Each structure stands twice: as C-alpha cells, then as structure tokens.
Amino acid sequence: MNSITKNTDSVMLPVMEHFYTIQGEGLHQGRAAYFIRLGGCDVGCVWCDVKESWDAAAHPMMSIEDIVEKVSHSTPNGLVVITGGEPLMHPLDSLTTLLQHKGYETSIETSGSHPLSGFWNHICISPKKFKAPLKEVLAAANELKIVIYNKSDFEWAEQHAVLVGQQCKLYLQPEWSKKENMLPMMVEYIKANPQWELSLQIHKYIDVP
C-alpha cells in the first residue's frame, strides 16, 4: 500500500451517481468525460434538474479508492468531472489527488458557494442567486457559466464577470425549460458582447446522461 492509498482509505463521499458520457456544456463540450455526482446541496435552485441530489444522506457512501476504481474500469485516461449537488460541501483533496496520480484530468462544476478544496485542471463556476459564490472561488475560475432564466440575468452575468480573472472563459447557457424563449435574446446579446459564448446542454439534445 503506497502513501497515497493510505491517505485516502478513510475518506468517504456520498455518491448519487457516476457514469461515463459526453460532456454536454461549457468549455469541454463534446469531450468524453466520467461524471461523479456527489449528494448534498444547500443552494436550492428552484429550477434544479437534479433535486434528488440535495439530501446527502439519501445516497450511498463510497470510499475514494472505490470511486477511482469505478472510473478506471470505464476509461483508461481523460476527463473526470466532479459535480453535484454542491460538490464543495465535501473535502475533495484526497479524491482529486488520487485521480491525478492515476493520470486523470480533474474538473469541477460548482456554484462556488463553499471554500475551494481539491486539485483541479479546470474549475467551472455557475453562480446561483440563492447562495452567493465566494469571491476567492470566483477568482480561481477557468470558466464562468451563467444560466439565463430571464432578461435580468444578463446584468447579473456581467456583475460576476468582473470578479473572475481575465483568462476565464465566459458562457451564457439557457435554463432548459426557458430555452425557446431565451435563445433568440441570448444570440443577440452575445453578438453585441462577444466576450461571452453560448453554452448548450447538448447531452439533453442527443439524449445521453
């Protein structure tokens, strides 16, 4: 047993689901990716499409070793995305250390409302109005993804864009149930403000997890 294994044996995380699929949105759209969805969320978005993830106690606890073994059985290398729920409710240093040790690229999708843990190749922050992101987490973002639910969200997007670094990619993404109404407005906004790019949930269009 090596030192990395010793350090991760006692770490357990609530895992709602885990699966190998195609990343459907944002900077890595179209890439093969293994998703690990952790249970637990205190943000409470009214339009959340995985509300069953909110209660951490409803999901089985898995050890770091077991999680990484599941990943390695599905893909020999590549991108691993930690999502939720709100994944930063949990300590993620050990999981990401072991994944990177095994050669995987680590990415997180978070609201940024909890202190940052883990070691990341890519940090995607999708801030929510229901619980504000921490400024220090926004400053670490590689990708800012704003969900557009109504017209006022464009102004809200700009308020957060000034809090991320200059190299952070900026994305606007329609809330799924509002996409037909909001997409024409989003296209015109991006044409007028080309620092933003459009993100679409292509996994929902092609019907994969």
Domain range holding 68? 3-205
Residue type, 128: K
CATH assignment at residue 175:
3.20.20.70
Count the helices and strands in the chain (H runs, E runs): 7, 9
Question: 87 CB contacts (<8 Å, ≥6 apart)?
Answer: 38, 108, 109, 110
What is the pLDDT at residue 121? 98
Question: What does the alpha-carbon distance between residue 43 and residue 127 come to, in Å, rounded to a whole number?
Answer: 10
Query: pTM of the entire structure?
Result: 0.93
| Predicted local confidence at residue 1, as pLDDT | 43
Q: Considering its fold, how many domains does the chain have in total?
A: 1
Residues 75-119 have pLDDT tens digits of 888 999 999 999 999 999 999 999 999 999 999 999 999 999 999
Show the tokens assigned to 149.
């639910």
Q: Give the end-to-end CA distance of the chain in Å, rounded to a whole number.
A: 35
Express each pLDDT in 118-133 by its tens digit.
999 999 999 998 899 9
